[in-house]
Amino acid sequence: GSLLEDFTLEYYIRHRKEIKAMSSPEALLNTKALLDQFTREWKTYAPQSGPLPGEILVFPMARLARYRWGNIGYYQIVNPQDPVIESARIHLSR
Banded pLDDT at 11 (limits 50, 70, 90): very high
Contacts of range 65-70, beta carbons closer than 8 Å, 24 or more positions apart: 65/25, 65/28, 65/29, 67/9, 67/12, 67/19, 68/12, 68/19, 68/20, 68/22, 68/25, 68/28, 69/24, 69/25
Categorise residue 70: left if φ over 0, alpha if ψ from -120 to 50, beta otherwise. Answer: left
Q: Residue 59 is part of which domain span?
A: 3-92
Instruction: Report how many domains make up the chain.
Output: 1
Give residue-wise pLDDT tens across range 42-94.
999 999 988 888 778 889 999 999 999 999 999 988 887 656 556 655 656 67
The predicted model scores a pTM of 0.82
